[in-house]
Structure 1
Amino acid sequence: MTGLVLAFKDYKIARGIWGSDWVGFEVFREIFAKPDFTRAVRNTLLLNILDLIFSFTMPIVLALLLNEVKNVVFKRINQTLLYLPHFLSWVIIGAIAYQLLSEGSGVINNLIVLMGGERIPFLQEDTNWLISYLAIGVWASMGWGTIIYLAAMSGINPELYEAATVDGAGRWRKVWNITLTSIRPTIVTLLIMNLGKVMEGSFERIYVLQNKATTEFTTTIPVLVYRWGIESGNFSRATAIGLFQSVIGIILVIAADRIAKKLGEDGLL
């Protein structure tokens, strides 16, 4: 936390943190005026909001489907296969993605050509890259996200389902009125926590999937922190944008928590 003072100083390595000149909010005014910053904020919000829509909802859907599976062996096998991507680093996932989706020699494109189609630039064109980025994120995270929801579902009283059956409720009515209602506090809590990450995003995910052919959506706040701080050595600028990102995240979490409480949920705070 002490290092955050760099955001308010013209940091020079030779002078150190305390010996560098204090410049107040000059560093913030400098980065706010840069076109790269505006672009990074736009891309960060776009990628993370789309990611929130798809990567947040898919684990809920998957958990509901697995909860309906009665064959224990089949259920456990599927759970294991779905959880596996969570234990892979983004470097490995990126390598797998390029092996599968590369336009020139990707396995999927080779299959498309064999079936008489044309190669698709999944990772070599901006719009296709965005779709592939979201799809890869869903695949990598949805299995692990189901663990929390399945754990919440395991605590539901079976008598509720029995009573619903007696009342003539079908499977979908049980899911809607019992399962989703029972796990709603868990969904709200995780949603609030994920809203705090809307201004963050995964640097590793962007870094391993980016290439020179797709530059429209790959400039995000974590990428700017890396470029300005590590590549350019401007630690004051990198610290300032990181601090800006964290402050916005805290504001979003508090705002979402207040809204959730007004709607009758427990919230986080």
Structure 2
Amino acid sequence: MSNIEEFKKIYNFEFEEIRAENYKEIEKKYLASYKEGKEKGFTPVFLVLDDTLLEKFEIDMEDKNTDNIMDIVKSNLEKYKSTNAVEFLKKFQKENIDDYFTEKDYKFDGSEKYNLELSTLFDYDDNFKDDVVLVKVPTKNPYEVLGYFGMGGFNDCPLPAEQVAVAKYWYEKYGAVPAVITYDEIEFYVEKPVQTFEEAKKLAVEHYAFCYDIIEQCYEKFEILADFLYKNIQWYFWWD
């Protein structure tokens, strides 16, 4: 049985298998679907249905002794309401934001960053990955999609309910919407990107609190991460 057929057995949602040649094609597809979702009351999200993500769904159901994934979804969407996102992020932060930034003469890139590439859907050779679906998740609250597809809870990746709480905070502040979920990555589309360097620095520290690997495995310096976030409509997280 293919991974997509296996997904269909677990989730009774409307979705379509996606094939694409380039980033622009994916950007157009996502933005059109996101607009449609606002009108019709659903939230679109790309899933990369590899073996690991499907296995996570199955393990979660076994752990909760249920054969209905919606039991887990309902639990995640109830638990997140008791998580204070600001306090959750502060637990992992130094008190002084400037302590993270050591290159005082760093020159930020002031260019506009309005291309939505969603590179997680492509491999290192820019080939589109197998078993990608675009799911119409039945929620008007975009941040809740992270409670529907419960990756996380390993390698310092927050639990799904914690992810939803933080995503809600970022959605209300920046219009940040989970657009791609894999077994170890999340990419966001951001409707109201950061417009000042100081705000980008604060957000970079929040991103680090949410995902240590974003510095330790990806950007290496807080200045580079803040630069990436400044005016950018796309955010990326990866837990190694």
- State the TM-score, normalizing by the size of structure 2: 0.24
Quick check: which one's strand share is greater? 2
- State the TM-score, normalizing by the size of structure 1: 0.22
Quick check: which one's helix share is greater? 1
Larger Rg: 1 or 2?
1
